Amino acid sequence: MSLRVGLLECDHVDDRFRSIAGDYHDMFASLFERATVDLDLVRYDVRGGELPATVAECDAYLCTGSRHSVYDDLGWIKQAAELVRSLHDAGRPFVGVCFGHQLIAEALGGKVELSATGWGVGVQPIEIVRTEQWMAPHATRCRLRFMHQDQVSRLPPEAVLLGHTDHCPIAMFRVGTTMLGIQAHPEFSIAYAEALLDARVALIGADRIDEARHSFESSTDERAVAQWFAQFIAGRGGVAS
């Protein structure tokens, strides 16, 4: 029986880009299918105010990225942070991607800020500083696509750093045995990432965007990371290094 995973949608893909790879639900469903990971994704439109009635509605939760910042003064973000705290207290598995990664930090006592070195975009290698049993296949680094301006600047109490990049010192971490965050976007296709870059030249800068486009020529490890997600939320192998 597949795990029932609540997909907490903290944004939706713009209509102008929807034809590329669908909405975020479609991207994550495709990611797990390509990685031969069997998960039953249940959608919650968190940005629209839809939340699970109880944390027990799903076996685990996966939180998407967003164009918003976790420190924005918006009611739905405050509700999402409260949900993270409830999931943490209940020991219910949670994986946060980009905004979701930052939400864990912000909700549990860490800090998120604008990156002092600007946007992090393109394919970047995450150096794994702590290898744990659920990280199978094992790797000392994983290459993934990034697209972010905010990043975690201080870990929450009792968090464990798992990986970093040159641009992002806290690129992957966990809190306890049930909360996992990653700054990268394993769900993004090259075509979707390129469309976002094309739309953000004025924000990011032409030189950095050219570097990001060139980086898309290199291979990435999103299938392995999708397997890590599934094994983490299933509690397989514990967290011992």
Please check whether residue 241 is in contact with residue 132, taking contact to mean a CB–CB distance below 8 angstroms. Answer: yes
Sequential DSSP letters for 183-230? SS-TT--HHHHHHHHHHTHHHH-HHHHHHHHHHTTS---HHHHHHHHH
Nearest-angstrom CA–CA distance, 209 and 122: 8
138 SS3 class: coil
Q: Which of 106, 132, 187, 222 is catalytic?
A: 187
Catalytic residue among 63, 98, 142, 168: 98
Strand 179-182 vs strand 94-97: parallel, antiparallel, or unpaired?
parallel
Angle between helices 190-199 and 206-215 (to 10 degrees): 170
Q: Based on the residue annotation, tell me whether 187 is a catalytic residue of this protein.
A: yes
Question: Is residue 167 among the annotated active site residues?
Answer: no
Residue 127 bears catalytic tag = no
Q: How far apart are CA 102 and CA 122, in angstroms?
A: 19
Q: Beta strand pairing status for 159-164 and 172-175?
A: antiparallel
Q: What is the C-alpha separation between 158 and 176, in angstroms, rounded? A: 7
Annotated catalytic residues are 98, 185, 187
